[in-house]
Amino acid sequence: MDRLRLQGGHALHGTVPISGAKNAALPVMAACLLTDKTLSLENIPNLTDIRAMLALLEALGVDCHADLTAHRLHLSARFVKNVTASYDLVRKMRASILVLGPLVARHGKARVSLPGGCAIGVRPVDLHLKGLEALGASITLEDGYICAEAPKGLIGGTVTFPVVTVTGTENILMAAVLARGTTILVNAALEPEIVDLAECLNAMGAKITGHGTFTITIEGVPVLKGTHHAIIPDRIEAGTYALAAMMTHGNLILKGRHLGQLLPSVFATFSQIGAHIDQKEDQVTLSSSMLRACDITTEPFPGYPTDLQAQVMTVLSLAQGSSIIRETIWENRFMHVAELTRMGADISVHGLTAVVRGVSELQGAPVMATDLRASFSLVLAGLMAKGETIINRIYHLDRGYEAVQDKLTACGACIERIPAE
Ligand code: UD1
């Protein structure tokens, strides 16, 4: 397995082009199953999770033309030959569950492996299944697979989510666009990736209103057409590089459309920590000369995202004073703490709360990446630590951060990928 080697202590200066959002691209790719016409996508990030979704779509019979170095895809689900998402494909990427809603909506049936647990928590899908049942699907669980059927098509209904679920909202939204009648999603997720999906679906001929609010209304239509859609920038990648600028007391220009609107509470939090932020329509400039402690609670959008919790913890480990970080979305998302502690951070965990006492420096060490966002928290630590840091198991990073070492090297970081022996 490849590893990353970092020499800490270099302030980052330069421009970082922010890639398309993985978490917007994956549901939009699954939406190709809703039409027999071609869906053309731009600004698709070149990541292993995208390749996993392409493999799944191909296994279902989708004709996929991908040029990921140009960030383009053409997807045509004219002939869907199979409605089964196998365990082998789903276990590699949990977002595979996103094919469930589209397959039932257009083909009347789907068989999708239950995703099971993962490093950051149990990750249930009960609300996806309840939502589909509310639209008339019958659901059974057989041999670890979700079997959903609606031979006469789905029927619009009201789906109330007891907790905010991003993937659940996306799955039911895609199912409802081809249902007969009106569907109302109550307590829907507000995430920008949901708005991006709804806009793509509307361009395909769907009738969705209210996306970006707690109540989404969908008037079902009989068929959808193809369209051309550009994915929004990755707000988590942007937030992560913003933290890299802060961590190293550097100055970075993050290039991407409307980043300020995608990260409202995040930039407010970063200002409290000590960042100077200058926002323009298609770029944000970020620098910082000192780091102050700050209390943070992860929340659904527009609150502080769980996907930036590990990274901000690293930055706060070098801040003046003590910070309290509460994780409210996932039950096991502090695995980076043990690794940061090995690098000299002073962090204690009490259930879903971490207390981070700022220290004056971190020391390089060999560490192990445990999940996607935790991996970058270790990269941030390595950027500022004294001496050398070796990060093992970086395949997690390749799932969600495009060209990490190229982007960081271009801004002055001393980082190198060591290929597997
Ligand atoms: C969640 C995050 C998303 C992040 C992603 C990967 C939120 C609201 N969602 O999205 O920002 O990008 O993880 O880290 O911040 N739940 C159920 N039953 C379900 C579905 C979800 O109980 O059927 C619960 C989960 O256990 C969790 C919460 O709802 O506590 C949010 O889950 P959900 O938004 O569905 O997860 P992701 O879509 O993976």
DSSP 74-115: EEE-SS----EE-HHHHHH-GGGGGGHHHHHHHHSEEEEE--
What is the bridge-based pairing of β-strands 251-255 and 13-17?
parallel
Element (H, E) at 13: strand 13-17
Q: Is 125 in the pocket of ligand 1 (CB under 6 A)?
A: yes
Q: Would the CB of 26 count as within 6 Å of ligand 1?
A: no
Which residue, judged by its Cα, is nearest atom 12 of ligand 1? 307
pLDDT at residue 351 is higher than 70: yes
Pocket test for ligand 1, best of 169, 329, 333, 335 (most atoms within 8 A of CB): 329
The per-residue pLDDT for 123 is 78
| Candidate from 127, 146, 165 with most ligand 1 atoms within 8 A of CB, to mutate | 165
Do residues 95 and 53 lie in contact, with contact meaning Cβ atoms separated by under 8 Å?
Answer: yes
Query: What's the gap in Å between 267 CA and the centre of ligand 1?
Result: 22
SS3 label, residue 392? strand
159 lines ligand 1 (CB under 6 A): no
d(C-alpha 39, C-alpha 192), whole Å: 20
Those residues with Cβ within 8 angstroms of residue 402's Cβ, 6 or more apart along the chain or in another chain: 19, 45, 46, 47, 237
Say if residues 329 and 362 touch (Cβ distance below 8 Å): no
Nearest Cα to 360, choosing from 340, 346, 374? 346
Report the separation in Å between the CA atom of 168 and the middle of ligand 1, taken as the mean of its atom positions: 8
Average pLDDT, the chain: 95
Statement: residue 279 has pLDDT above 60: yes
118 classed as catalytic: yes
Looking at 118, 200, 294, 414, which residue is catalytic? 118
Task: Select the highest-mean-pLDDT range: 18-27, 119-128, 256-265, 370-379.
Answer: 18-27
Q: How does DSSP classify residue 121?
A: B
Q: What is the pTM of this model?
A: 0.97
From atom 29 of ligand 1, which residue's Cα is the shortest distance away? 165
Q: What is the pLDDT of residue 289?
A: 87
User: Cα-flanking dihedrals φ and ψ of residue 67, to 5°?
Assistant: -125, 85
Number of the ligand 1 atom closest to the C-alpha atom of 167: 38
Answer yes or no: is the C-beta of 305 below 6 A from any ligand 1 atom. yes
Find which of 93-97, 123-127, 410-414 is predicted with most confidence, using mean pLDDT: 410-414
| DSSP assigned state of 334 | -
Q: What is the average per-residue pLDDT within 352-364?
A: 98
Q: Is the pLDDT of residue 121 over 70?
A: no
Helices within 108-162 (DSSP H only) = 126-134
**Radius of gyration for the alpha carbons in the chain, expressed in angstroms and rounded:** 21
- The mean per-residue pLDDT over the stretch 284-309 comes to 96
Residue 119 confidence (pLDDT): 66
Burial 99-117 (b: 16+ CB within 10 A, else e): bbbbbbbbbbebbbbbbee
Q: Quote the CA–CA distance of 11 and 238 in Å, as a whole number.
A: 17
Given a cut of 80, is residue 116 above it in pLDDT? Answer: no
Question: Which of 160, 161, 166 is the pocket-test mutation for ligand 1 (most atoms within 8 Å of CB)?
Answer: 166
CB atoms within 10 A of CB 396: 21
What atom in ligand 1 is closest to the CA of residue 169? 35
Q: Give how far the C-alpha of residue 421 lies from the chain's centroid of Cα atoms, to the nearest Å.
A: 30
Q: What gap in Å lies between CA 4 and CA 365, rounded to an integer?
A: 12
Q: Name, in order, each residue with C-beta under 8 angstroms of 169's C-beta and a sequence gap of 6 or more.
A: 161, 185, 188, 189, 194, 216
Evaluate: CB of 168 within 6 angstroms of ligand 1: yes
166 lines ligand 1 (CB under 6 A): yes
- Of 164, 202, 233, the closest CA to residue 23 belongs to 233
- What pLDDT does residue 92 have? 84
**What's the pLDDT at 91?**
87
Question: Which atom belonging to ligand 1 lies closest to the Cα atom of 329?
Answer: 30
205 - beta bridge partners? none
Task: For residues 113 and 292, give the distance between their C-alpha atoms in angstroms, rounded to a whole number.
Answer: 45
Q: State the Cα torsion 129-132-138-141 to the nearest 10°.
A: -20
124 lines ligand 1 (CB under 6 A): yes
Consecutive H or E run containing 329: none
pLDDT reported for residue 266: 97
Q: In ligand 1, which atom is closest to the CA atom of 333?
A: 14
- Which of helix, strand or coil describes residue 190? coil
Tokens read off for 404: 């990490």
d(CA 28, CA 40): 10
Instruction: Establish whether residue 162 lines the binding site of ligand 1, counting it when its CB lies within 6 angstroms of any ligand atom.
Output: no
Phi-psi region of 400 (alpha: psi -120 to 50; beta: other; left: phi over 0): alpha
